[in-house]
Copies of this chain bind each other. A is one copy, B any other.
Amino acid sequence: MGVMIPFRSILNSLKSYEAGKPIELVVREFGIDPNRIIKLGSNENPFGCAESVMEVVRQAISKMSFYPDDSYLDLKTAIASKFDLTTDRIIPGNGSDQVLDFVCRCVLDQGDSVLINRITFAMYKIYALQCGAKIHSTDSVTHDLNAFLDLAKLIRPKIIFLCTPSNPAGDALSKSDVYEFLSKISLDTLVVIDAAYMEFGKKKDPNKFIPAKEVTDLFPNVFYTGTFSKVYGLGGMRIGYGIGNQELISNLYKMRPPFSVTNLSALAATEALKNESYVESYLENNWNEMKRYEKFAAEQSIEFIDSYANFITFFARKRGKSSSEIAHSLLKQGIILRDLKNYDLNALRITIGRPEQNDLVLEALEKEFH
């Protein structure tokens, strides 16, 4: 008996997100010992989270039966302190993913326009399509704000998504360019600044740092999102946040379901914010190890994008193995990288790992690119 439920016609145009391959899948498909697998396909912190964070979670395990404090007051207070904001400027989410979803659902009616970069985080398009929006994108791999501006005038989007530093390309916008751009954008267009990788960009070049308080104070149409999945090493715990003008935040709360962040996740994130020296040493490793990948690329004449994040994107050679072939070959060796074929790029995104992981990855890549 077939299903006669009249699903919304919108579902026909929807596709699911293709996640980076998990360790479990590589174990299942190739029978590789999970402890031997090098997972550098999802831009996670390769050192994990701080020991103090693990200890806080360990101590809280007996509380798993209690629903979270749905005010998330401790978590919001800690985030507010990081950004020098009041808590009413912050909304937590199940990853920054979820706050991106809130924005789409609060602003987009069917047929509304959304503007994104050609190469950008896949979820903007997915959430916007779920709302029945029309997606417009620029033509370039890295962000070109002039192209954004021209298109914005033409299509009058309800939302513009900027990802800086950008995933999966790695480029970043300077604060001055972003502010100039924002000053030219109509205040009835919401501009999302996805700052999931901002801590990395700030460390490499302070000019790329966009302070959440300043930008949302200056521009009430900016929604700034951040995450605990990257520098803080809590990707599996699903915690992100959005920052904006108080009126914007209170509207987003209307689409927020209760309890969407687990109680252990909220505790972990709150603790993670107390240990910035751990973050600092991870950032130092990231930029030291990044140099090895850049050197390798130069030696091998591999084209790459100058990265402001915790990954580097290598283009496959036009006449050599494709990115998919290389990714698959490494996967069989237990090394997970991200093939960007789904983004229409013949390129590989490689998360910068621990030194000993990078030794093995570079060795394996040399065989593929030589």
A48-B64, A65-B236, A236-B262 are known; give 5 further A-B pairs, CB within 8 A.
A15-B254, A17-B258, A57-B64, A65-B235, A130-B254
* A82 and B85 alpha carbons, distance in the complex (Å): 47
Q: Chain B contacts of A73 at CB under 8 A?
A: 24, 28
The interface size bin for chain A is 35 or more
* A54 and B65 alpha carbons, distance in the complex (Å): 10
For residue A19, CB closer than 8 A to chain B, the reply is yes
For residue A220, CB closer than 8 A to chain B, the reply is yes
Q: Tell me the minimal C-beta distance from A337 to chain B in angstroms.
A: 15
Closest to A105 in B: B130
The majority secondary structure among interface residues of chain A is loop
What is the 8 Å Cβ interface bit string for chain A, positions 81-124, against chain B (1 contact, 0 not)? 00000000000001101100100011111000000000000010
Q: Chain B contacts of A220 at CB under 8 A?
A: 1-5
Partner of A58 from the list B19, B61, B247 (CB cut-off 8 Å) is B61
Provide a sorted-by-A list of 18 A–B residue pairs whose CB atoms are within 8 angstroms: A1-B187, A2-B247, A4-B220, A5-B187, A5-B220, A7-B106, A11-B251, A23-B69, A57-B64, A65-B235, A66-B235, A67-B236, A68-B236, A68-B238, A98-B257, A236-B264, A238-B259, A238-B261
For residue A25, CB closer than 8 A to chain B, the reply is yes
For residue A237, CB closer than 8 A to chain B, the reply is yes
Most central of A4, A48, A236 by chain B CB within 10 Å: A236
* A15 and B258 alpha carbons, distance in the complex (Å): 12
For residue A63, CB closer than 8 A to chain B, the reply is yes
For residue A221, CB closer than 8 A to chain B, the reply is yes
